[in-house]
Amino acid sequence: MLRFSANVSTLFTALPVAARFAAAARAGFTGVEMQFPYELPAATLAEAARAAGLDWVLINAPAGDFTAGARGFACLPGGEEAFWHSLRQAADYAAVLGCPRVHCLAGNLPADEAPERCWDVLVENLRQGAAMLAARGMQLLVEPLNRTDNPRFILDGYADADALLTAVGADNLALLYDVYHARAAGEDWLGGLERRIGRIGHIQFSDYPGRGAPGTGELDLARLFRAIRHLPYAGWTGAEFFSPSPGAAALDWLAD
Report residue 256 CA to chain centroid gap: 24
**Which of 185, 187, 247 is CA-nearest to residue 212?**
247
**Which of 130, 162, 169 is CA-nearest to residue 177?**
162
Annotated catalytic residue within 33, 143, 187, 194: 143
Task: Report strand pairing: 200-205 vs 101-103.
Answer: unpaired
Sign of the four-CA dihedral 127, 39, 3, 99: positive
Q: Which amino acid is at 64?
A: G
Which H/E stretch holds residue 88?
helix 80-97
> Is 143 designated active site?
yes
Q: Which amino acid is at 104?
A: C
Cβ contacts of residue 247 below 8 Å, gap of 6+?
A: none
The end-to-end CA distance of the chain, in Å, is 16
What is the distance between the alpha carbons of residues 197 and 73, in angstroms, rounded to a whole number? 27
Cβ contacts of residue 246 below 8 Å, gap of 6+?
A: 11, 12, 27, 213
> Is 47 designated active site?
no
Annotated catalytic residue within 47, 124, 187, 240: 240
Known catalytic residues are 143, 240
